[in-house]
Amino acid sequence: MLRVEHLTKVYPNGTRALKDVSFQVEDGEFMAVIGLSGSGKSTLLRCINRLIEPTAGKVIWDDIDITAVPASQMRQVRRQIGMIFQQFNLVKRSSVMTNVLSGRLGYVSPYQSLFNYFSPADHQRALDNLEQLGLADKAHVRADSLSGGQQQRVGIARALMQEPKLILADEPVASLDPVLAHSILKYLEQMNKERQITVVCSLHFLDLVHRYATRAIALKDGQLVFQGLPKEIDDAQFKAIYGQEAERVSIV
């Protein structure tokens, strides 16, 4: 279980990105985070694995306070939390295999990994994950030779290498066209159901939230403005989250 308590983030330039945000995610949930651009979604996800240091508040996961873990032990925490990014964040010049294997870095000896050494078991695991994502034949091509949808699947494979219990997905489909968006989210849903990986995923489109999420929270200007089931987001809620001007749009 992931519990976020009174989380606040103030950037050095004075921007208050998160204001006293509290919520919790049960194991095995697919939690969607919605809100406008700049509402604090990315900051929230990054505070969970402390890519960004929160200013105040706690993130408690499996009874460990992540915000209090010393830097030397963050490795043990982070390796159990996979992350997927809007811009895929692959090393474009490295091969798909190297990108996927880099998901094991939290486990392997730092010195062996300096020489690009990974155990045969890790290689097999990488191939299995690529296979499951339909990319087995792409293992040895350079990452930048793949299409956007393929790159994001490599991103998922990298996260799966961590054998995570939790996946944080920051707008994983915002850079992809609608058809691919469904394909990527289906993979996430599959991982969520088959491997019981908890997913916290920020999304732009409400109909994607309705289709995939088991629960949703909404942020507006860094504040939590909604918490509940996706179907509970009615027109009034919608206007509260996105502003009076907003119109509902849907994709495919």
Partner 1 sequence: MNPSPPTNNPLLATVLSLFIPGAGQFYLRDRRRGIAIFTTAIVSAVLIYWAQDNFRTAVTGGTKMALWALLGCFLVWNIVDAYRRARRQASSDLIGLLLPVLIIYIIGWQVTDVRLDRLVTRFGNALKIWNDIIHPDLFTQDAAGNWLPSENFGYIFGSIANKPASGWLVRLGLVQQDALVPTFQAGKIIETIALGLLSTIFSTILAVPLSFLAARNIMSRVRGGTVIYYVMRTILNIVRAIDTLIWGLIVVLWVGLGSFAGVLALTIHSIAALGKLFSEEVEHIDPGPIEAVTATGANLIQTIRYAVIPQIVPPFLAYTLLRWDINMRSATIVGFVAGGGIGFFVVESLRKAAYNQYAAALWAVAIVVMIVDYVSAKWRERIMVGTTQVASEPPRPFYKSLRTWFYLIVGTAAFVYFWQLCEINLKDLLNPAPTFGQLVRSFLSFNLEPEVTDAVVRQMLITIFQALLATTLGALMAIPFSFLAARNLTGRSRLSIWIYYLTRGMFNLLRSIEAILYVAIFFYWVSFGNFAGMLALAVTSFGLIGKLFSEAIENIDPGPLEAITATGATRLQAIAYGILPQIIPPFISYSIYQWDINVRMATIVGFAGGGGIGWLLYNDYFPFMKYRSAGTAVALIVIVVAVMDFASAKIRERLV
60 phi, psi to nearest 5 deg: -110, 125
- Which member of 102, 150, 198, 202 binds partner 1 (CB under 8 A)? 102
| 101: number of Cβ within 10 Å | 23
Residue (of 51, 63, 71, 53) closest to 7 by Cα position: 53
Of the listed pieces 22-30, 54-62, 99-107, 228-236, which binds partner 1 according to CB under 8 A?
A: 99-107
Residue 210 interacts with partner 1 (CB under 8 A): yes or no:
no
Of the listed pieces 2-10, 13-21, 97-105, 238-246, which binds partner 1 according to CB under 8 A?
A: 97-105
- Which member of 59, 81, 146, 191 binds partner 1 (CB under 8 A)? 81
Residue 156 interacts with partner 1 (CB under 8 A): yes or no:
no
Residue 96 CA, distance from chain mean position: 20
- Tokens 């088991």 sit on residue: 214
CB 219 within 8 A of CB 44: yes
CB 185 within 8 A of CB 208: yes
- Which member of 91, 179, 229, 246 binds partner 1 (CB under 8 A)? 91
CB 171 within 8 A of CB 203: yes
- Which member of 36, 60, 69, 77 binds partner 1 (CB under 8 A)? 77
Residue 98 interacts with partner 1 (CB under 8 A): yes or no:
yes
Burial 72-96 (b: 16+ CB within 10 A, else e): eeeeebbbebbbbbbebebeeebbb
Nearer to partner 1, 83 or 203 (CB): 83
Size of the site for partner 1 (CB under 8 A): 46
Nearer to partner 1, 62 or 144 (CB): 144
Contact positions toward partner 1, by CB under 8 A?
49, 51, 74-83, 85, 87-95, 97-98, 102-107, 110, 113-114, 137, 139-142, 144-145, 155, 158-159, 161-162, 168
